[in-house]
Amino acid sequence: MTEPTIFVVDDDEAVRHSLHMLLAAQGFAVESYASAREFLDASVVPGEGVLLLDVRMPGLSGLDLQAELRAKHGNLPIVFITAYGDVPLAVNAMKAGAVDFIEKPFTKAAILDSIGRALDLGAEARTKNRFAADAKVRIERLTPRERQVLERVVSGRQSKTIAFDLGISVRTVENHRARIMGKLEAESVSHLVRMALAAGVVPGAPYPSDTRTGDR
């Protein structure tokens, strides 16, 4: 398992150095950058880790970097470093997805607590993304008719209602449901629904080939 990396982006050399030394002493891999542009130019592809990011910096601000990273590395947790007057900006950053913010001067405990929370949330997000990606692959195994049935199962419809919606028999619906459970390797209906929702299946959405003809 790859050790988490803490990325420090702060134009204040003293702050950057002290953070680097503190985190390295705690056993973290640490990479430090003097500006948002330097971080971007390094073409970093973060895996597991946390970004400690100053709010106000010359050129690209911390908020600017956050906006760019959301599209590229949406799962990289960000903890903002703020001066006293930057708290409103930090609050806006959290609304945009940042995990936390810490005020200067900060304590060792505050930094490590924030990083711990960020690492936990990052791990949770990666687990959810893996689950969603796996669910999408499994759902691609379904036929168009099975997809129609799945969408209606997710919406909470009973087999009799699904049969009426699609113009097929209840037995056919049950057969489709059994095949869907097998193809998706679902352990239960609730597991099936969680996979479908994670994969972006819209409950009850019409499928392009949704007709009342075909298998009965």
Same-domain pairing of 100 and 153: no
Residue 88 lies in a domain: yes
Q: Residue 74 — very low, low, confident or very high, per pLDDT cuts 50/70/90?
A: low
Find the CATH number of the domain harbouring 123.
3.40.50.2300
Q: If DSSP codes are grouped into helix, strand and coil, which group holds residue 51?
A: strand
Question: Which residues have a Cβ under 8 Å from the Cβ of 193 and sit 6 or more positions away?
Answer: 153, 154
pLDDT in the model for residue 2: 59
pLDDT computed for residue 93 by the predictor? 75
Task: Out of 80, 105, 130, pick the residue that ends a domain.
Answer: 130
CATH number, position 168: 1.10.10.10
> Which of 98, 93, 105 is closest to 51 using CA atoms?
98
Domain assignment of residue 123, given as a range: 5-130
Instruction: Examine the domain organization and report whether 36 and 66 are in the same domain.
Output: yes
pLDDT at 215: 57
Is residue 176 situated within a structural domain?
Answer: yes
Judge if 191 and 117 occupy the same domain.
no
Taking the CA of residue 120 as centre, how many other CA atoms within 13 Å lie in the half-sphere pointing to its CB? 7
Q: Based on the structure, what is the number of domains in the chain?
A: 2
Q: Are 125 and 145 contained in the same domain?
A: no
* The pLDDT of residue 120: 85
Q: Name the token pair of 45.
A: 């592809």
Tell me, what's the pLDDT at 213?
Answer: 44
In a domain, 29, yes or no: yes
**150 and 44 in a common domain:** no
Average pLDDT, the chain: 84
Residues 29 and 105 placed together within one structural domain of the fold: yes
The pLDDT of residue 82: 83
* R_g (Cα) of the chain, nearest Å: 24
Percent of the chain with pLDDT over 70: 89
82-139 pLDDT tens trace:
876 676 777 777 776 788 888 888 888 989 998 988 888 877 777 787 888 899 999 9
Residue where one domain finishes, among candidates 96, 112, 130: 130
Residue 46 has pLDDT above 80, yes or no: no
44 plus 95 within the same structural domain: yes
88 and 49 in a common domain: yes
56 and 156: one domain? no
Q: Indicate whether 11 and 109 sit together in one domain.
A: yes
- For residue 11, the model assigns a pLDDT of 92
- Asked if residue 116 and residue 149 are part of one domain, the reply reads no
> If we measure between CA atoms, which residue out of 51, 47, 48 comes closest to residue 32?
51
pLDDT at 1 over 50: no
Whether the Cβ atoms of residue 11 and residue 35 lie closer than 8 Å to each other:
yes
216 within a domain of the structure (yes/no): no
Span 163-211, pLDDT tens digits: 999 999 999 999 999 999 999 999 888 889 888 988 888 776 554 444 4
Helix (H/G/I), strand (E/B), else coil: 113: helix
